[in-house]
Structure 1
Amino acid sequence: MSHKICLDNIAIVLNQPRFSENIGAAARAMRNMGIRELVVVHPYKLDMERVTRMATHAASDVVADIRFADTLQEALAPFGFVAATTARLGGQRVVHTPPVMAQKLIPVSHENRVALVFGREDRGLSNEDLRLCHALVNIPTDEFSSLNLAQAVMVMCYELYTATLSEKRPFSPRLASRYELDGMYDQLKDVLIRISYVNPENPDYWMNHIRNFFTRLRLRAREVSIIRGLIRQVNWYAEKRYQDGLAEGKAATKQPKEDGTPQP
């Protein structure tokens, strides 16, 4: 089964909207987010001219296909799953946030027609209305909980739309293999002993700290290669300085004595 929501099976249901402009704005929000089925229940003083003006030409197809119903029960008859928006919390209600609801609707939407119901602007959905629904969703707000109807429709349509987007697989680079890590640790321990950074009598005590540090970083193969290159350079430089010191010592022993004879 697809891990995306099926927008073709999603409908927005406006129950007793009081303002024709809100119907048009809701249609526009739906069209923006790829949802095309709009059901309007017993609107108050419907003015299709104001609906069309607010919807704009872009959502004219949504407006043209509006299905009108006299009651919410009649409107919801064709749907297998119904989610209702509500601003009221508490009691025994199990209320989901919009993102959670969108995720819950992904499997449901593939085999069922789904309705998302919005109540009238001034008082929302009644308890009787809510009994017709399978689940509740609440749009979290700050101190002022009342949203404009069209704004609420846009928020929910956005969440449903983003649930249709292909889930991006997180980038997973090739991590360093155990063989690569062990080689790096052996090389690092050797050079740290040689430069007297760790106690040669008990090098693993300090190496355990270093291993824990690198383990938290989850080193990639390329990063291990860079670290090993740095270790080689430190080792080369230390060896070079050692050889330079030997050469300088030999040169000093060959300096002539004050009487002009060379040192033995």
Structure 2
Amino acid sequence: MLLQGLDVVLVKTRFPENIGMAARACANMGCPDIRLVEPERWLPDKARPLATAKGLPVLDGVRVYDDLPAAVAESALVIGTTARVGGWRREILHPSAAASEIVTALRDGNRVSLVFGPEDRGLDNAEISACHRVLTIPTDEASSLNLAQSVLLVLYECAEAMRRAQRAERDADHPAAPHAEKSISAQEQERLVAALKETLLAVDALHGDNPDYFLMPWRRLFGRARLRRHEYDAVMGLCRQVQNALKRQRS
């Protein structure tokens, strides 16, 4: 399919009918996978009529997870969606800019997760913190969109970006060589952030009652950089060396 490697992740979805419509949107735009996180009601028989015949293969492949980190663990890039900005929701991307990053990651051989929150309230701050990047769909007076509409709009931008990239490659004298090394996964990035947090706390460089909030710029940086394995090993090694030096100093 056109967007092979892209997972649409639906968090705490309330209505199975919306999952069915999202499956149809995925099929329309060439996205093969939907992952559900703690759905309020997962009733496939309610979802199937809204998926239509074209969306049934996507619907039949749905996987359910207990939490968001588990659902996105394999992905090198995790992009959340939000209608609210400010606070934890900074460096907001337009869907077309997000699509460009998604397509670049997919063409590098990485897995990508596109995360949508529940219909009534969207992603909360903890869920946003699990995302490397955040996008919002510009609207006029009414800021909220139906879940399936949001999925369709963002996937349309991704499909168009992928087609442009494929056309550019065909028109080039020779295709670009793929990267030799994939980016680290979201699960590995979480290990890296945890190691960095421990190190910054140890050197008293992380202050306040909410250190996770002040770690957000690092999360965003790592998400944009899409670190390769040797870069991940280098930063993890640095954290270990700093912590070991502090232990020797205190002993």
Flag structure 2 segments of 5+ consecutive residues without an equivalent.
169-251
CA distance in 2, matches of 1:28, 1:165: 20
2:34 counterpart of 1:30: no
2:141 aligned residue (143, 147, 150): 143
2:15 aligned residue (19, 22, 29): 19
SS of 2:4's equivalent in the other structure is helix
How has the CA–CA distance of structure 1 residues 146 and 165 changed in structure 2, closer, same or farther, with 3 Å as cutoff? same
CA distance in 2, matches of 1:113, 1:99: 19
Flag structure 1 segments of 5+ consecutive residues without an equivalent.
171-264
1:84 aligned residue (75, 80, 99): 80
2:119 aligned residue (118, 121, 144): 121
2:101 counterpart of 1:104: yes
Query: Within 5 Å, which residues of 2 pair with 1:135-214?
Result: 135-166=133-164
Cα pair 1:6 1:106 within 8 Å, conserved: no
How many pairs were matched up?
A: 166
Cα pair 1:83 1:137 within 8 Å, conserved: yes
Partner residue of 2:246? none
CA distance in 2, matches of 1:111, 1:145: 34
Structure with larger Rg: 1
Cα displacement (A) at 1:6: 6.5
TM-score, normalised relative to structure 2: 0.63
CA distance in 1, matches of 2:42, 2:32: 20
SS of 2:80's equivalent in the other structure is strand
Give runs of ≥4 in structure 1 deviating > 2 Å.
Answer: 166-170
Cα displacement (A) at 1:74: 1.3
CA distance in 1, matches of 2:63, 2:167: 39
- The one-character-per-residue Cα deviations of 1:40-63 (angstroms, maximum 9, x if unpaired) are 111112211111111011111101
CA distance in 2, matches of 1:129, 1:159: 23
CA distance in 1, matches of 2:84, 2:123: 10
Instruction: Identify which range, 128-137 or 103-112, moves more after superposition.
Output: 103-112
CA distance in 2, matches of 1:156, 1:77: 21
How has the CA–CA distance of structure 1 residues 169 and 152 changed in structure 2, closer, same or farther, with 3 Å as cutoff? closer
Instruction: Identify which range, 155-164 or 84-93, moves more after superposition.
Output: 84-93
How has the CA–CA distance of structure 1 residues 131 and 89 changed in structure 2, closer, same or farther, with 3 Å as cutoff? same
Q: How large is the Cα RMSD of the aligned pairs?
A: 2.0
2:49 counterpart of 1:53: yes
Cα pair 2:82 2:123 within 8 Å, conserved: yes
Cα displacement (A) at 1:7: 1.4
CA distance in 2, matches of 1:111, 1:61: 23
CA distance in 2, matches of 1:150, 1:156: 10
Cα pair 2:13 2:41 within 8 Å, conserved: no
TM-score, normalised relative to structure 1: 0.60
Query: Within 5 Å, which residues of 2 pair with 1:57-76?
Result: 57-76=53-72
Cα displacement (A) at 1:80: 1.4
Cα pair 2:79 2:134 within 8 Å, conserved: yes
Percent identical pairs in the alignment equals 41
2:91 aligned residue (94, 100, 107): 94
